[in-house]
Amino acid sequence: MVRLADPTHVASEDATTPDARKTAGAARRQQRLWYHLGLPVPIPGRMPAPRQSLAGGEGRRVDYRKKFVVEPDSKVDLARVDPKFTGKLSSEADAKAELDAHCERFTKLQYLLYADGTQSLLVVLQGMDASGKDGTVRHVFRDIDPQGITVRSFKVPTPEELAHDFLWRVHAAAPRRGSVAIFNRSHYEDVLVARVHELVPKEVWSKRYGRIVDFEKNLVQSDTHILKFFLHISPEEQLRRFKQRLEDPARQWKISESDYTERDYWDDYVRAYEAALEKTSTERAPWFIIPSDHKWFRDLVVSTIIVDTLEDLHMRLPQPHVNLADIARKYHAADAKGSLG
Ligand code: ATP
Ligand code: MG
């Protein structure tokens, strides 16, 4: 666990006026809480060092956000991204300790997000069938307090949903302040499956990219942080996973023939994904292309990017809104006496 400093090093004796002493005392209490939460303690004038994955091996660090982000207005060619990429790591065992550490930190950061209550996080998961959207939810979010998180899986729209604009059902599922929302599939289906299968004419879906960018900008301006992950798998890996489902009685119920027939449209989906990633990756709502043939690498990268993003917010626990000394004096005086003897 990274601890940058022991808060007891931050002294309030230097503060000369009563007001300054009070402020220094509050800062010290805040830092002590921070320390007990296992988070890097911010020292005035010193920012925590950016956290990066150790996956480069041999001490070389990899910044997954930089490595896998789709730069705004850049060209996307998915054929150039190897879905089997794992950097210098070669097995799940190499990644396990780091994933465990991220899950632990994510729990604490989510607690701060909730306590702070002013901002939220939206995680969008997209990918072909069997790319691992459900698995990512299970593994990366496994330790999060269920009270602070919502998961919404977007399926074929209902008649009620179709009677509204395509963003209606999505907006209603956006995270409330203080919480995390996961979209398992999302409004992007309306420029993916809708485009590939011509569910609406081109003049309709082609205008949706701009509407999506505007919609996400609106969320960002309402203090929602947005991270969008495209789980990139190869067609061979997809077929391998389908076969595993076929052979596993516990998962046979998941199989549908359309999963197989949809493979005929693979290239069309690739083109639709490339267009969506190019047109809607923005600085404040970026897309990341995650090599996902190896599930453990996918989980490691997604968790790293989420934790790094939340740590960059430098969230603080809110100050207590009561006078703690007064409360202790009023209601715990008997305890104090008891403990004294
Ligand atoms: P699983 O991995 O369990 O199969 P899934 O997300 O593929 O999960 P399904 O119920 O198999 O879930 O499929 C949901 C389907 O809903 C997908 O084929 C998806 O393309 C479709 N869908 C989602 N949103 C829309 C939309 N806006 N318009 C049309 N189809 C949509
Ligand atoms: Mg499916």
Q: Which atom of ligand 1 is nearest to the CA of 129?
A: 7
Q: What residues have a C-beta under 5 A from ligand 2, the ion?
A: 129
Query: DSSP readout, 179-213?
Result: -EEEEES-GGGGGTHHHHTTSS-HHHHHHHHHHHH
Superfamily of domain 64-311: P-loop containing nucleotide triphosphate hydrolases (3.40.50.300)
Q: Which residues contact ligand 1 via a Cβ below 6 A? A: 129, 134, 153-157, 185, 189-190, 193-194, 199, 254
Q: Find the 233 Cα to ligand 2 centroid distance in Å.
A: 15
Give whole-number Cα distances, 192 to 155, 271, 337, in Å: 13, 9, 68
The DSSP result for 330-341, as a single string, is: HHSHHHHHHHH-
Å from CA of 18 to ligand 1 middle: 62
Cα of 107 from ligand 2 centre, angstroms: 29
- pLDDT of the residue at 230: 98
For the chain, the structural domain boundaries read 1-10+19-49, 64-311
The DSSP annotation for 245-272 comes to: HHH-TTTGGG--HHHHHGGGGHHHHHHH
pLDDT of residue 24: 53
Amino acid, single-letter form, for residue 110: Q
Q: In what order do the strands lie in the sheet with 149-153?
A: 149-153, 180-184, 120-127, 224-232, 287-291
> What residue spans of the chain are helical by DSSP H?
18-36, 64-68, 92-116, 133-140, 159-162, 168-171, 193-196, 202-221, 235-247, 257-261, 266-280, 295-311, 324-331, 333-340
Tell me the two tokens of residue 223.
Answer: 């203090």
pLDDT values of the chain reduced to their tens digit, one per residue, 341 residues: 333 333 333 333 344 555 555 555 555 545 554 444 555 444 443 334 444 455 544 444 689 999 999 999 999 999 999 999 999 999 999 999 999 999 999 999 999 999 999 999 999 999 999 999 999 999 999 999 999 999 999 999 999 999 999 999 999 999 999 999 999 999 999 999 999 999 999 999 999 999 999 999 999 999 999 999 999 999 999 999 999 999 999 999 999 999 999 999 999 999 999 999 999 999 999 999 999 999 999 999 999 999 999 999 999 999 999 999 999 999 998 876 655 44
The two structure tokens encoding residue 120: 């939220």
